[in-house]
Structure 1
């Protein structure tokens, strides 16, 4: 998910009452909720970064070491301020154990949220490089923003006025969990329906869409890189080929295609729904069906100009 969502989750956990456990609890929660995304800098490698993102820093070892490092820094920062005479008097006493526990809890919410969109996460790296994706929420969910944002604002206002500031935050967390549960049910219903509908696909991905959380873009595979899709609007159920006639090709052999092409190797390692289309000037382009339609199309593809198109019928 986006970093605003991660930050709101950390802030709400604090406003639900846990920020009173130790000084600097809110930085531990908010930064901890975003900490696994320190791998974002790898995007400078372009397509090759697909094999680097949402992997090692989102895995079990990092989810322990990153909160430990954050807690250590905050503990040091508190003492550094005290030595300079700049430590705020109203700050609670800092407990390293609680700092680590809160940062660890916040860190755990990060992969949980990242799992909920179609991009996915390598949850077990470095022990396993398998991708996991729940297809529950769109990567930027404005309804979560609104729900959690209102809860956070109300909580902060009540705290300032001396009221029960924990209740709005807890209500927002409960509402967000209920919303996620509803979306999980919608995804499951769409995937089950698609599986039982002709041409009875082997694999189904019900991809959430922006704003209209009740809609899903159905991506279905009948094997051999043959991915088909339903209408993005979700008004009609059923499959409709969305590619120009005669352009679909068999997926190239992964070993041959990625030889001396680290960008192709990274793309095929990352892609959960790869398929190939013939280029007008020869060769093929490999796309991922999850990001083929809309503005993301040009960001998730690799061109293979020397690979012939073997027509897919």
Structure 2
């Protein structure tokens, strides 16, 4: 999720655990810091553009490593504030803050490697967009109340966390409904993979991505107009090209990281590799240019992901569905 959501989640969890044992402002600060720490992996260069992409949400998001780090941070906090008697309580608070960070991230589609160091598999439920105000606002409101009314801090934090968690549950239920709808109206009888994710900032309009050997289909399903037939746009892919470069290290990495939801096309002497999960209508967040020579590092293409056009298109779809 976005940084604000993680900050609010971390601060809310910390306040809920610490209550009024320490000043609420102190708890809010350390909860926000701990909620941000896992995402600092973006500051480290993994070697090339694709490595940077797939290494995000890796070791710093693995509960195994976070569990090892949490007592060290808790000890530091209790030492700084001269609160040795509260070390165990800080340990519990920091542990929960650090572990809820990747658990929230795994609800998005990006890919979080929760199983490191035991498995390198990226996990992503994909039921919520990376930024969703309806998830973040309850947390933020609860923190504002906790800040201004310390005597209500635990109840305010619990209310914010409860509402945001209920919204996550709703997003998963809505996704499963959309998945069933997609499976009942496939554009072709044989498909390889089906992905259903929300369009930006909402859980009402869902994007359906269907991979086949010949290419991929993209369609949209609105919960505001559940009876409308699904219409798909087909984007052909060169099956021979995919097979020829299946073992290319960069193609293989994106293929594994995206669980097969990628496109590959030839453009002159270059190969254009796209992760199809993040974006829509050929407007994608992650596209790379590479060469058949695997020793040449892949280059990220300038992001053509135009959020303004995406939002305008979504508004048209939602208005049409009403």
Distance in 2, Cα, partners of 1:294 & 1:70: 44
CA contact (8 A) 1:227 1:275 kept: no
How much has 1:142 moved relative to structure 2? 1.5
Structure 2 residue runs without a partner (length 5+): 295-322
CA contact (8 A) 2:9 2:35 kept: yes
Counterparts in 2 of 1:96 and 1:298: CA distance versus 1, 3 Å: closer
Aligned counterpart, 1:86: none
Distance in 2, Cα, partners of 1:294 & 1:145: 27
How much has 1:76 moved relative to structure 2? 3.4
TM-score of the two chains, using structure 1 as the length reference? 0.78
Aligned counterpart, 1:100: 91
Aligned counterpart, 2:259: 272
Structure 1 residue runs without a partner (length 5+): 80-91, 308-313
Q: Is 1:227 aligned with 2:216?
A: yes
How much has 1:152 moved relative to structure 2? 1.7
Alignment of 1:191-270 (within 5 A): 191-198=179-186, 199-200=188-189, 201-222=191-212, 224=213, 226-231=215-220, 237-243=229-235, 248-250=237-239, 251-253=242-244, 256-258=247-249, 263-270=250-257
Measured against aligned partners, the alpha-carbon deviations of 1:233-275 in whole angstroms (never above 9, x if no partner) come to 78765352353xxx521224556422xxxx4454334222343
TM-score of the two chains, using structure 2 as the length reference? 0.76
CA contact (8 A) 1:205 1:219 kept: yes
Number of corresponding residues: 284
| 2:277 aligned to which of 268, 290, 309 | 290
Counterparts in 2 of 1:148 and 1:104: CA distance versus 1, 3 Å: same
Q: Is 1:7 aligned with 2:10?
A: no
Distance in 2, Cα, partners of 1:117 & 1:155: 28
Distance in 2, Cα, partners of 1:102 & 1:189: 35
Q: 1:118 is paired with a residue of what secondary structure? A: coil
CA contact (8 A) 2:108 2:125 kept: yes
| 268-277 or 6-15, larger mean C-alpha shift | 268-277
Q: 2:152 is paired with a residue of what secondary structure? A: coil
How much has 1:12 moved relative to structure 2? 1.8
How much has 1:10 moved relative to structure 2? 1.9
CA contact (8 A) 1:51 1:269 kept: no
Q: 1:95 is paired with a residue of what secondary structure? A: helix
Aligned counterpart, 1:40: 42
| 1:171 aligned to which of 159, 172, 176 | 159
